[in-house]
Amino acid sequence: MTHVANEHSERDVPAMTVQRIPLYLRCLLEAQGERLTVLNSKQLGDRAGTNAAQVRKDLSHLGELGTRGIGYDVDDLVVHLMRRLGITESRSAALVGFGRLGSAFLGYQGFAARGVRIVAVFDTDPDKVGTEIEGLIVTSIDDIADAVEREGIELAILTVPAASAQKACDALVASGIKAILNFAPCTLTVPDDVSVRQADVAADLQILSFHLNRASSEGYSR
Amino acid sequence: MTHVANEHSERDVPAMTVQRIPLYLRCLLEAQGERLTVLNSKQLGDRAGTNAAQVRKDLSHLGELGTRGIGYDVDDLVVHLMRRLGITESRSAALVGFGRLGSAFLGYQGFAARGVRIVAVFDTDPDKVGTEIEGLIVTSIDDIADAVEREGIELAILTVPAASAQKACDALVASGIKAILNFAPCTLTVPDDVSVRQADVAADLQILSFHLNRASSEGYSR
């Protein structure tokens, strides 16, 4: 039930495992809310929509966690995963692109609870700059370097049109940002030390369409 | 340069390959826009932010495409990928949850160009039902089965709070929907023949935070 945080090199953690850490954390926080103190790998797998073997394999990449035959101490594992995700203290993020999608994210209360606070919002449109929204003032993207330094911004959420995305990305990189979540449907060119995650909603819909197509063309389900 | 659409069982296509098909399609459409007729795997890999070997491996799962030493016929590959994705004719989608995020998606013109049209919008809030938005009338979720039948809806985009998501999901499944893109941060329980894709923006930010954390704790970049 103890976890020995036998730190591997994080470089060893497979990308698919990294993708599931936030999922496990969310499920563990739900279990905490239900006052559960221990979960075994089957229980965590059921909550996460995966299975016991996958849970054990994923968590094995993160150290020697859990106790055989008993399970994982929920509180310990929450702390461990939050530490691995680097969200024991919240990260500051910039929102770049104050359009409809950006506005939706600014109004969403769920980020702060999950370790990321949007502390600044940028746009290029002079008509938008100066607008107050959710306690923030929309700032010109020309002033991004100052804001990044002043606010300790580490992440950026990019919600600009595809045609403007590389230019906005370049400004972010020049200001020292090392992690970008890109909603524009385009491939960004960044230096090796910058992480980009692509969030392309239309692509997600196309992937679902692939599954529909497969189910119908093969006459079987799923 | 011809493509022989040697249909494998689509069941053989690895999940990570499926995830990249929309990316390749987007890059090919960009190349079409630049009036390019042939791309080799390195060129397609560069555009997609991956590499030649990955492109060849991914596309090999989709049939015998391309000609060795020459490359892929752009137009042929576009058609082939669209067919595999099941978007040669556009798919009809329902938006469930007319909040800020849902509104942002309704206003987004990019889905139709990528094969998915939002043809109906649903909410449970009586104050929202009846509202006209982007040419659609917000409908009570109680009427979803009729709409799914009438409009030929196949996909749903779920943008409701986590606490309401399973109930909305159950209504979608009962109406015959087999593919759901879920923006609520919760695991949905669905029958085996229903595909769910989780779009959790906070989780994406946490994954980026993991990479930041790794870079800083190991004193190396990326």
Among the partner residues A87, A104, A193, nearest to B221 by beta-carbon distance: A193
The predicted structure's pLDDT at residue B218: 62
Domain covering A10-85 in this structure, CATH number: 1.10.10.10
A29 touches chain B (CB under 8 A): no
Residues of chain B within CATH 3.40.50.720 domain(s) are: 95-197
Which A residues in the span 107-146 are in contact with B, Cβ-Cβ below 8 Å? Answer: 107-108, 110-111, 114-116
Q: What is the pLDDT of residues A153-210, one digit of tens each?
A: 999 999 999 999 999 999 999 999 999 999 999 999 999 999 999 999 999 999 999 9
Amino acid at B218: E
Phi, psi of A160 (to 5 degrees): -110, 165
- Rounded to whole angstroms, the Cα distance separating B180 from B155 reads 6
The interface pTM score, or ipTM, of the predicted complex is 0.91
Residues A3-11 have a mean pLDDT of 43
Q: How far apart are CA A212 and CA A217, in angstroms?
A: 8
pLDDT tens-digit map of B68-124: 888 999 999 999 999 999 999 999 999 999 999 999 999 888 899 999 999 999 999
Chain B CB contacts of A100 below 8 Å: 103-104, 107-108
Give the closest of A48, A154, A188 to B187, CB-based: A48
Tell which B residues from 183 to 212 touch A, by Cβ distance under 8 Å: 185-188, 192-193, 195-212
B206 sits in which H/E element: helix B201-218
- Chain center to CA of B169: 18
Contacts of A154 by beta carbon, 8 Å cutoff, 6+ apart: A91, A92, A93, A177, A178, A179, B209, B212
Nearest to B152 by CA among B186, B135, B177, B126: B177
Q: How far is B168 from chain A (nearest CA, A)?
A: 18
Q: What is the pLDDT of residue B5?
A: 37
Evaluate if residue A98 carries a pLDDT over 60: yes
CATH 1.10.10.10 residue ranges of chain A are 10-85
Contact state of B205 with A155 under an 8 Å Cβ cutoff: yes
Range with the poorest average pLDDT among A131-135, A168-172, B7-11: B7-11
Q: Is B87 close to A209, i.e. CB distance below 8 A? A: yes
CATH class, range B95-197: alpha beta
Kindly compute the dihedral angle of the four CA atoms of residues B22, B47, B219, A111, in this order, to the nearest 10 degrees.
-40
Whole-number pLDDT of residue B9: 47
A169 at interface of B, judged by CB pairs closer than 8 A: no
Q: Give start-end residues of each CATH 3.40.50.720 domain in chain A.
A: 91-203
Separation of alpha carbons A176 and B162, rounded Å:
34
What are the tokens at A93?
């993020």
The vertex-A211 CA angle with A100 and B143, nearest 5°, equals 60
Q: Residue A111: which of B9, B85, B202 has the nearest Cβ?
A: B202
Residue B6: pLDDT over 60: no
Structure confidence at residue A4 (pLDDT):
36
Q: Judge whether A213 and B82 are in contact, CB under 8 Å.
A: no
User: In the CATH hierarchy, which fold is given to the domain comprising A91-203?
Assistant: Rossmann fold (3.40.50)
Percent residues over pLDDT 90 in chain B = 82
